[in-house]
């Protein structure tokens, strides 16, 4: 341990700085949340995290440069803690290549979700996605650790989270399991929060939330910029609420049943001019709306052509339909399609509707979940109601 961890004034300044950074952004901290960020340290939960260096993720430890490391920990940034199942603490000095699989969420996004969750002392809270344990520590501070349960599929993550929560004085129930299914038998909750994304709200979460309870859940399909839904459980067993203003690209909640669909190569052939470039799906203000018009299992891949121009490929494994949208040096993009359905036309139609509705913000959309169906709705100023099934 370096001496920086024994400098209590320095650590307090770091937490104050973080609270100020959050407050300067789009989140206005309540006195309750501000107290939590000032009292719950972040550094014990991320003693090692990854920095991206080119194509690799290299572990950064406090022993590398304690002052710079502490500044990074208490910056309002997400910190990658695991890549392809390799925790930063197990990585060699040369780092690893792969895809991030766990991270410590940016504190301002944590604050936004915790504010929406409205946790009070004594609330029974369930968290899907223990991760580093930092968010669970905040829940413990707000509700009391005897009232918090957190679940993660990774044995390494749950072991570390349990140890670190204990080290800062919290003892919630930490479970290794599937966050969508492995809830303690017969337990009921006043608050349910997920720190990993799902395509649809798991039915068991809806079932185990008490009437009047609140669920805060990141929902994301194949596109970036997913939504965070805040719903209240109703007496009839359904839940309804709104979408938060903050876009969020949380890593998906792992269940162990995932299979990665490979996007096929689309052979050159008959093609048509497109109204839009595939780059439109990189616009988070539109991608949220576009996702509502996509089939459940649709997959997107994107990259560069041989001449360095943008190419997007859409693929639906349900029926084998696929489309390639390729930018050209001059003129409109080209669409090449295979399979029984045109996958790009619905996106262009969605974009026209989005423009006609004057690019509605995500927080203007409502969401409803029943045991059998989940829908998103938007009511236009003229009273017209638009509805999409998730």
Q: E strand or H helix at 163, and its extent?
A: helix 155-167
Average pLDDT across the chain, whole number: 93
The predicted-structure confidence for 44-74, as pLDDT tens digits, reads as follows 999 999 999 998 999 999 887 889 999 999 9
| CA 316 from centre of chain | 23
Measured between alpha carbons, how far is 340 from 360 in angstroms, rounded to an integer? Answer: 32
Residue ranges covered by each domain of the chain: 3-243, 271-354, 364-389
Q: 180 vs 257, which has greater pLDDT?
A: 180
pLDDT at 1: 44
Angstrom distance (rounded) from CA 133 to CA 150: 9
The number of residues making up the chain comes to 390
SS in 3 state form for 225-280?
A: CEEEEEEEECCCCCEEEEECCCCECCCECCCCCCCCCCCCCCCCCCEEECCCCHHH
Residue predicted with more confidence, 3 or 52: 52
CB 297 within 8 A of CB 314: no
CA atoms within 13 A on the CB side of 389: 5
Structure tokens at 223: 């596109």
Instruction: Look at the alpha carbons of 61, 62, 63, 66 in this order and tell me if their dihedral is positive or negative.
Output: positive
Per CATH, is 3-243 categorized as 3.40.50.10860? no
Give me the active site residues, please: 103
Instruction: Over range 96-105, report the average pLDDT.
Output: 91
Give the model confidence (pLDDT) of 346-370 as tens digits. Answer: 999 999 999 999 999 999 999 999 9
* Helical (H) or strand (E) element with 350: helix 345-356
* pTM of this prediction exceeds 0.75: yes
pLDDT of 256 > 60? The answer is no
């Amino acid at each position: 341990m370096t001496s920086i961890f024994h400098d209590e004034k320095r650590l307090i300044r770091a937490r104050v700085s973080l609270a100020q950074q959050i407050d300067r952004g789009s989140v206005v901290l309540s006195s309750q949340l501000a107290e939590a960020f000032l009292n719950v340290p972040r550094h014990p939960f991320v003693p090692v995290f990854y920095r991206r260096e080119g194509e690799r993720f290299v572990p950064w430890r406090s022993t590398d440069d304690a002052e710079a490391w502490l500044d990074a920990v208490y910056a309002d940034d997400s910190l990658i803690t695991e890549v392809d199942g390799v925790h930063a603490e197990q990585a060699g000095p040369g780092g690893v290549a792969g895809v991030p699989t766990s991270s410590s969420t940016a504190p301002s996004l944590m604050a936004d979700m915790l504010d929406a969750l409205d946790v009070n002392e004594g609330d029974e809270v369930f968290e899907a996605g223990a991760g580093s344990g930092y968010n669970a520590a905040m829940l413990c501070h707000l509700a009391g650790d005897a009232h918090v349960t957190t679940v993660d599929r990774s044995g390494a993550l749950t072991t570390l989270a349990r140890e670190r929560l204990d080290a800062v004085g919290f003892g919630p129930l930490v479970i290794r399991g599937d966050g969508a299914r492995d809830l303690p038998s017969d337990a009921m909750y006043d608050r349910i929060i997920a720190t990993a994304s799902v395509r649809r709200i798991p039915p068991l979460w809806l079932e185990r939330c008490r009437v009047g309870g609140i669920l805060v859940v990141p929902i994301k399909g194949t596109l970036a910029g997913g939504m965070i839904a805040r719903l209240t459980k109703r007496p009839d067993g359904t839940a309804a609420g709104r979408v938060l203003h903050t876009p969020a690209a949380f890593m998906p909640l792992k269940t162990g049943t995932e299979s990665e669909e490979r996007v096929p190569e689309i052979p050159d052939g008959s093609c048509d001019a497109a109204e839009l470039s595939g780059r439109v799906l990189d616009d988070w203000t539109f991608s949220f709306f576009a996702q509502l018009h996509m089939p459940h299992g649709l997959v997107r891949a994107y990259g560069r052509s041989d001449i360095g121009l943008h190419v997007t490929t859409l693929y639906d494994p349900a029926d084998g339909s696929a489309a390639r949208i390729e930018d050209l040096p001059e003129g409109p993009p080209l669409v090449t399609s295979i399979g029984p359905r045109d996958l790009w036309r619905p996106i262009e139609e969605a974009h026209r509707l989005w423009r006609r509705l004057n690019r509605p913000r995500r927080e203007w959309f409502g969401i409803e979940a029943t045991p059998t169906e989940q829908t998103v709705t938007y009511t236009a100023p003229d009273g017209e109601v638009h509805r999409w099934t998730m």
